[in-house]
Amino acid sequence: MLELNIGELVQWMTRFLWPLFRIAAFFMVVPMIGTQLVPARVRLTFALVVALVVAPLLPPMPVVEGLSFGIVVIVAQQLLIGFALGFMVQVFFHIFVLAGQLISTQMGLGFASVSDPSNGVSVVVVSQFYLMLTMMLFLSMNGHLVLVDVIVDSFRVIPVGMEGMGSASLWMLASTGGWMFASALVLALPALIALLIVNFAFGIMTKASPQLNIFAIGFPFTMLFGLFITWVALAGFLGQYQVLAEAVMEQVAELLRLGGAGG
């Protein structure tokens, strides 16, 4: 008859629960999987399945006796690591949302907002189009499999029980906001410059002919020209996506490296 003491049961449970906290936190934040379109039960089931598959492959877990403060610390560390990795992927997707917002504002479509069911907020039409296009590219290039590989590889770089996210890691996480705005500006810069030239030309026309109703003529022309520029810019969208995807993967690897070095 198989006999197990309390210590062995706790050890078996912790071998599964510690990875589950990190994986569940990651899937609750990461785009597409962590959106409102996916029910929380589905996300939790997916996290349970991944944790069951990954748990036997992980190194030995730290032994914590009973309900102590050490358990709370380990749980908080795993949640923080999972949230941080998911946040990095969220920043990547929001680059395209922000670029669409900049283009829409310049072309006069800033007021044309639609509901984004994945995030539960209202975004402009161009941002929603860019977000849908990014999601399709992400899935077609097996980005969902890359997400699973990232969270599994994090256990090798930052084992359970390690300090993990230190000051350097948190500072790098905060600095990704600047990278997001800079990348969105570079992505939207061709359309912004073209629309700026159009607005400058209409300003000269108004100065030369004050009787011309600039609002009646300029607004429709700027909107149509902005849509044309957005269509032309789609030719280089794939290349820009690949560059940004490589950049965010490098940042995720750097974040894991800093965490593995103890911050």
Structure tokens at 152: 């599994």
- Residue 83 — φ and ψ, nearest 5°? -65, -40
Output 172 or 1, whichever has higher pLDDT. 172
Output 169 or 214, whichever has higher pLDDT. 169
**Mean residue pLDDT across the chain:** 79
Could you give the angle at the alpha carbon of 155 between the alpha carbons of 153 and 157, nearest 5°? Answer: 75
Instruction: Give the position of tokens 């810019």.
Output: 233
Most distant CA pair in the chain, distance: 98
**What are the domain boundaries of the chain?**
6-260
Q: How confident is the model at residue 1 (pLDDT cuts 50, 70, 90)?
A: very low
Q: How much is the pLDDT for 86?
A: 87
Instruction: Give the position of tokens 């939790």.
Output: 44
| 79-130 pLDDT per residue, tens | 888 888 888 888 898 898 888 888 888 777 666 666 665 565 666 778 888 8
Q: How far apart, in whole angstroms, are the C-alpha atoms of residue 158 and residue 110?
A: 43
Q: Which SS3 state, helix, strand or coil, does residue 116 take? A: strand
Q: How far apart, in whole angstroms, are the C-alpha atoms of residue 192 and residue 182?
A: 14
- Residue 62 — φ and ψ, nearest 5°? -65, 145
Residue type (1 letter), 155: F
Q: How far apart, in whole angstroms, are the C-alpha atoms of residue 102 and residue 125?
A: 12
* Residues whose CB falls within 8 Å of the CB of residue 70, separated by 6 or more in sequence, listed in order: 62, 64
Q: How much is the pLDDT for 169?
A: 78
Q: How far apart, in whole angstroms, are the C-alpha atoms of residue 256 and residue 165?
A: 9
| 13-35 pLDDT per residue, tens | 677 788 888 888 888 888 877 77
Orientation angle between helical segments 125-140 and 69-107, nearest 10 degrees: 120
Q: Which SS3 state, helix, strand or coil, does residue 184 take? A: helix
Q: How far apart, in whole angstroms, are the C-alpha atoms of residue 263 and residue 246?
A: 23
Residue type (1 letter), 105: T
Q: How far apart, in whole angstroms, are the C-alpha atoms of residue 173 and residue 155?
A: 19
- Residue 58 — φ and ψ, nearest 5°? -90, 155
Q: Which of 96-105, 138-147, 222-231 has the least mean pLDDT?
A: 222-231
Q: Which of 1-5, 41-45, 186-190 has the least mean pLDDT?
A: 1-5
CA 219 to chain centroid, in Å, comes to 34
Structure tokens at 231: 């269509």
Q: How much is the pLDDT for 119?
A: 60
Q: How far apart, in whole angstroms, are the C-alpha atoms of residue 150 and residue 87?
A: 13
